[in-house]
Structure 1
C-alpha cells in the first residue's frame, strides 16, 4: 500500500515564491507593453498569453529537474554527460543573472532620471545603477539570503499594490472611453509572422525568474520549491495578461509624435498624478528583481565550487554587474540577457529529456530545447 503524500505547508510555499515572483515581475512588466504594442498592436494580449504559455512549459522543465535531477545528484546516480550539462547550465545562468541584475538596475535608473529630467542623463543612469548594485551586494555579503529575502518581501508587496492601482486606473480609463464610444485599439503592424516570432523570442527575459527556485535548495525542500514556482508563474501570468489587456487601448491613443515608448509616457498622458507611484513601482520592482537574481546567482555559485563561500559570490557577481551597468547600453543588455536565459533553458530542457521516461515527455522536452536554441541564435532584441 502506497503511503499518503505529505501535504505541502502553505506558508513556506508563499515565502519561497517571493524570490521567483519578484524576479518575474521585475523582468518585463515595464517593457513588455510597448514592445508588444509595436509588434502586435491590438493583438498584444494574444502575444502575452503565448509568452506566458511558453514560460509555463519551460517551468515544467525546471520543476522536473528540481524533483528528479536533484535527487539523482544527491544519490550519485546521475550519468556523467547529464552531470556535465548541469554544470554547463549553472555556468550559463550565473552569467545570465549577472547580466539581468545590471539590466534591472539600469531600467530603474532610467525611470528615476526620466521622472526628474525628461531629457535624461547619460551620466546619472549608470551611476545610480552601480550604487544600487553595491547596496545589494553589501546587504547580501553581510546578512546573506535572509537579509536579501526580507528586503525582497517588502519591495514585492509595494510593487503589487502600486501595480494594482495603476492597472485599476487604466481599466477605469478604458471603461470610460468605451462607454463614450471613443475607445480605439492600436493598429496591427504589418510584420511578417517570422519577424513577430523572433521579436517575441527576443523578450524571453520578460518572463525570466521562475527558475530561481533551482538555487534555493539550502532554504526550502524540493516540493516547496516546486509549488512556489507554480504559484509565482500563475500570479505573474495573471498580472501580465491583465496589465497588457488594460494598457493596450491606452497605447492606441498615441501622440502627435507617434506611439508612446514607455509606461511613464502613457501615465503622464492619462493620469499625471500616477507618475510618481509608477516611478516608485519601477524602482521597487527592478530593485526587487535584482535582489532575487543576486540571491539566485549566489546560490548557484556556491553549488559550482566549494571556493565560493562567505561573501565571495556576492562580491564577484556584484563586481561583474557593476562593470556591465557602467559600460553597456540598456538595449544591448536586454538582447544579451534574453539569449543567455534562452541558452540556459535549452540546456535544462536537454537535461530533463535525458532524465525523464515516456516518449511524449521526451519529445516535449526535446521540442522545448530546440525552441530555446532557436531563440538563443535567432531572436531579435526588444527595441
Structure 2
C-alpha cells in the first residue's frame, strides 16, 4: 500500500509540474535553480548526520540551519537589488568592487569542492544500490570517472546537451521527495493506528555539537544561484523566487524531519552517508531504490551545474581562460579534493568554502547598506552575519 502511494504521489507530482502551467511559468523557472540546489544532496545526508549529533532534537538543528541560510539569503537578495546596479554602472564603489571580485574567486573554489561533494555522494549511492559490500574506494572511482566525463564534456562543448536534461532531472528529484514524504506520512499513520510509537528518539548533544552543526551549512546552500541567472530573469523576479525557494525548501526539510521520528533511530545507527537508505527500507522495500535513483540523477545534475558555474566564474574573472582550459583544471582540482578527504571532510570543507563566500557577500551588503544610507540596524545585522559565517569557516568540524 505504501509503495503504491509512493509511486502514485511521485508520478502525480512529476506530471503536474511537467504537463501543467508551472513548467511554462517564468516564476517556476526562476525558482527551480535555487530550490534544486537547496534540497539536493542535503536532503539525504541531513537525517543521519543531524540524528547522530542531536537525536530527537535533529529537527531543531535543521531549523537553525534553515534560519541561518534565510538570514544570509537576505544579504544576497539585497545585493541582487542594490549592488548589481552598482556593478553594472561600470564605476562601482572601490570597496564593493574589491569584495565582489574576491567573492568570485572564493566561489570558484567553493564550486570545485562542491562538485567533489556531489559526486562523492553519487558514487556512494551507486555502490549502495549495485554492490552494498564494495570497498568505499570504488565509490571514489565512480566519482572520478564522472569527473573525467564532465571535464571532457566541458572541453568538447558537449555540456549543452547535458544541461538540456537538467529541468527534467530537477522535477524528477522533487517528485521522488514528494513521494517519499507521502510514504513517511502513511507509515506514521499506520504506526499510530497499530499502537506503535512514532515519537523521535531522546534528545542528545551539547555545546560540542555546535561546531558540527556549523560544518553542515552546505546542506542548505544553493540559494545564491539566483545571483547568476540575471541574463534570463530580472532582479525583482530573482529576489522573489529566491524567497519562494528558501521557504519551500525549509518547509520540505521541517516536514521531512517531523515525519522521520520512527525512523530516526535507524538513520542514527546506520553507517555512512547512505544510512537513510537503510532506514527507508523499513517503510517499504521500494523506497531505497527510488531514493537512490533520484539521488544519482540529482547529484550528477548538481555537479554539472556547479562545474558550469565555476568555469563561467573563472572565465569572467580572468577574461582569458576558455572552456578548453578551465574544465580540465577544474576537474583535476576536484579530483584532488575527492581523494584527499572522506565524504564528511568534503562536507565541512565545502561548508567552509561557501561560508567564506557568504561572509564576503554579507560584507558587500553591509558596505552597500551604509553607502545607500539605510538603517544602521541593517548594517549591524549584516556585519553580525558576516561574523557568523566566519565562525562557520573557522570552527566547523566534520560529523564523523
Same fold (TM over 0.5): yes
What corresponds to 1:7 in structure 2?
Answer: none
Where does the alignment leave 5 or more consecutive residues of structure 1 unmatched? 1-9
Counterpart Cα distance in 2 of 1:140 and 1:266:
37
Counterpart Cα distance in 2 of 1:298 and 1:13:
26
Q: 1:366 aligns with which of 380, 383, 386?
A: 383
Counterpart Cα distance in 1 of 2:239 and 2:155:
27
Counterpart Cα distance in 1 of 2:75 and 2:252:
22
Shift of 1:171: 1.4
The number of residues matched between the two structures is: 370
Contact 1:26 1:288 in 2 (8 A): no
Q: In 2 relative to 1, CA 315–232 (structure 1 residues): closer, same or farther, beyond 3 Å?
A: farther
Counterpart Cα distance in 1 of 2:77 and 2:163:
21
What corresponds to 1:298 in structure 2?
Answer: 311
Deviations 1:102-153 (A, max 9, x none): 1111111101102222223233212211222233344445557754542221
What corresponds to 1:87 in structure 2?
Answer: 101
What corresponds to 2:110 in structure 1?
Answer: 96
SS for the counterpart of 1:218 is coil
How does 1:5-20 map onto structure 2 within 5 Å?
11-20=25-34
Contact 2:119 2:300 in 1 (8 A): yes
How does 1:209-288 map onto structure 2 within 5 Å?
209-252=222-265, 254=266, 259-261=269-271, 262-288=275-301
Shift of 1:40: 2.2
SS for the counterpart of 1:123 is helix
Correspondence 1:205 to 2:218: yes
Contact 2:76 2:361 in 1 (8 A): yes
Q: In 2 relative to 1, CA 60–313 (structure 1 residues): closer, same or farther, beyond 3 Å?
A: farther
Contact 1:18 1:152 in 2 (8 A): no
Q: In 2 relative to 1, CA 346–29 (structure 1 residues): closer, same or farther, beyond 3 Å?
A: same
Counterpart Cα distance in 2 of 1:228 and 1:298:
25
What corresponds to 2:396 in structure 1?
Answer: 379
After TM superposition, the score normalised by the length of structure 2 is: 0.86
Q: 1:315 aligns with which of 328, 337, 351?
A: 328
Contact 2:263 2:280 in 1 (8 A): no
Deviations 1:25-82 (A, max 9, x none): 2241111011221222222222222211211111111111122111111113422222
Q: In 2 relative to 1, CA 63–142 (structure 1 residues): closer, same or farther, beyond 3 Å?
A: farther
Q: 1:195 aligns with which of 208, 212, 216?
A: 208
CA RMSD of the aligned region, Å? 2.2
Q: 2:120 aligns with which of 84, 98, 106?
A: 106
Q: In 2 relative to 1, CA 27–67 (structure 1 residues): closer, same or farther, beyond 3 Å?
A: farther
Q: In 2 relative to 1, CA 225–247 (structure 1 residues): closer, same or farther, beyond 3 Å?
A: same
After TM superposition, the score normalised by the length of structure 1 is: 0.89
